Amino acid sequence: MKYRAGVRRKSESVTDARKLLVVEDSKTFSKALHKLLSDEIGLPVIACASLNELHEVVTEEPDVYGIAVVDLNLPDAPDGEAIDFTVQRGIPTIVFTGSFDVQTRARIMERDVIDYVLKNNEFALETLVTAVKRALTNRDTRILVVDDMTVARKHLARMLAIQQYSVIEAGSGAEALSLLAANPDVQIVISDYNMPDINGYELTRKIRRMLAPDKVRVIGVSSTNDLAVSAGFLKAGANDFISRPFMPEELQCRIANNADTLLQLRQLQELAARDHLTGLFNRRHFFENGPELMKSVQARPVSAVAILDIDNFKQINDTHGHGVGDQALELVARCLADSVKGTGNLLARLGGEEFAILFPGMDPAAAMRFCDHIRLDISHAAVQVGAERLSVTASIGVAEADAADSFDHCLRAADQALYVAKQQGRNRVCLAAA
C-alpha cells in the first residue's frame, strides 16, 4: 500500500509535492530502490551516485526533498560527507550502509539522522522502504512530552523531532492535562515520573480517565534504577516504559510500535464502523454517533434526519440478479457520498436498500431541498447491465430531529414519511407531519 497520511484508500493519489532523494553509487541498489520507493510510496524519486551530483540536484531544487536515503560511503565522500550535506540543508536523512560495527554506528548516530539500514541482509530494501514510510507517517503523529526538567525535556523533544514527529512540550502535569485538552490530535504522551505537582503515575491515571488506550498511548520514562517505577506506570494505565539514558534505536522502535498499535486500533474501529459493500458508515455507527452529533450543535438545536430507500429494489434483484442489485447499492452510495462530502452530515447504510442521513443544525425544509437534489442525482445515474442502462430511483422521507426527543422516534417519523413517498408513486421526497 502506498504512503498515506492517516487512512487513505489504495486507489487515492498522494497529495504531496515533495520528492524522495536517493544517493547511492551502486547501480543495482539504486535502481531497485528507485522502483520500490516509486511503487510503494508514490512520490517522485531523484537518484544520484556521488556527492558532486547531490550538490547539483539539491542546488537546483533546494526545498523539495522530503526524505533523503544516503549511502554512508561514496567514492567522493568516503567519510559520510554526503550525510552531512543533506542534514545541514534540513533534509531528513536515512543512512544506507554496507558495513557496520561499533565505530560505524558511532559515526552515524553522532549525526542527526532519522535511522540507518544495513545492506547486508536479504530484507534490506524492504526495511529501507519501511523506514521511509515511517518517517513520512511520523509527521502526522503528535507527541506530548512531559517533564519539569527543561534540559531533559528539550533533549527528548529534539530526538523525536529528528524522527519527524510533531512535538509539543509541558513542564508539569497540570500543563500536560491542559495541553491534552486543547490538542485532541495528540496521539502519544511521554511522561517523566518525578514532577513536583503531579507525578507520572497520577498523570497517567488522570489521562486514562479522560482517554482510553485506543485514543492516546502513554509511555512512562525515568532515570531511576528502581524497577518498580516501570511497573507503577504500567499499573496506572501506561502502555510502555523507557529508561533513561535513552538508546536512540530503542526509543525509536518503542515509539514506532506504539504509533503502529494506535493506527491498527483505529483501522479496526474504522472497519467495524463501515459497511463492507458500500464503504459507508453502518447502522451501528449511525445509532452510536447520531444522538451525540445532534447534541453537539449548540447554535441551532433543530436538526433533520432522512431515510432513503431504493425503489423496486427487490424487482432489480429478482430480474437481474444480486450482482446487479449490489451495483445499484454502490451507485446510490456514491451519489450519497458525493452529496454529503464536506458538509458535516452523517451518512450511513442502515441495511438492505435503506440509507440514512443526519443533518445536524439543518432545519427540515432545508434538508428536504438537499434530499431532492440527491434524488435527482440518483435518477440521472444508471447501472450498466450488458447493453442496457438500468435506471435507479429512490424515495426519501425527512423528519425533524430534536435533540430533546429520542433518536429512535425521529427515525420512525422519517420512516413514516418514506412510506408516504412510496405510496404517492416513489421517486420523491416527503416531509413528516409536524
DSSP 254-296: HHHHHHHHHHHHHHHHHHHTB-TTT-SEEHHHHHHHHHHHHHH
Rg of the Cα atoms in the chain: 28
Rounded Cα distance between 402 and 303, Å, is: 6
Determine which one of 126, 288, 353, 388 is catalytic: 353
Rounded Cα distance between 25 and 29, Å, is: 8
Number of C-beta neighbours around residue 219 at 10 A: 21
Alpha helices in 73-226, H assignment, sequence order = 81-88, 102-109, 124-138, 150-162, 173-182, 200-210
Which residues does residue 152 pair with via DSSP β-bridges, in sequence order? none
Residue 163 near residue 117, CB atoms below 8 Å: no
Per-residue pLDDT of the chain in tens (434 residues, 90 and over written 9):
333 333 333 333 344 568 999 999 999 989 999 999 999 998 999 999 999 999 999 999 988 999 999 999 999 999 999 999 999 999 999 999 988 889 889 889 889 999 999 988 888 999 999 999 999 999 999 999 999 999 999 999 999 999 999 999 999 999 999 999 999 999 999 999 999 899 999 999 999 999 999 999 999 999 988 889 999 999 999 999 999 999 999 999 999 999 999 989 988 988 899 999 999 999 999 999 998 888 877 556 689 999 999 999 999 999 999 999 999 999 999 999 999 999 999 999 999 999 999 999 899 999 999 999 999 999 999 998 888 899 999 999 999 988 777 889 999 999 999 999 999 999 999 999 87
Q: Is the pTM of the predicted complex or chain greater than 0.85?
A: no
Number of C-beta neighbours around residue 234 at 10 A: 15
Residue 52 near residue 76, CB atoms below 8 Å: yes
Number of C-beta neighbours around residue 119 at 10 A: 18
Give the domains, in start order, of the chain with CATH numbers. Answer: 19-136 (3.40.50.2300), 141-272 (3.40.50.2300), 281-431 (3.30.70.270)
Task: Confirm whether 61 is a catalytic residue.
Answer: no
| CA diameter of the chain | 83
Q: Which helix (H) or strand (E) holds 324?
A: helix 322-340
Can you tell me whether residue 2 is helix, strand or coil?
coil
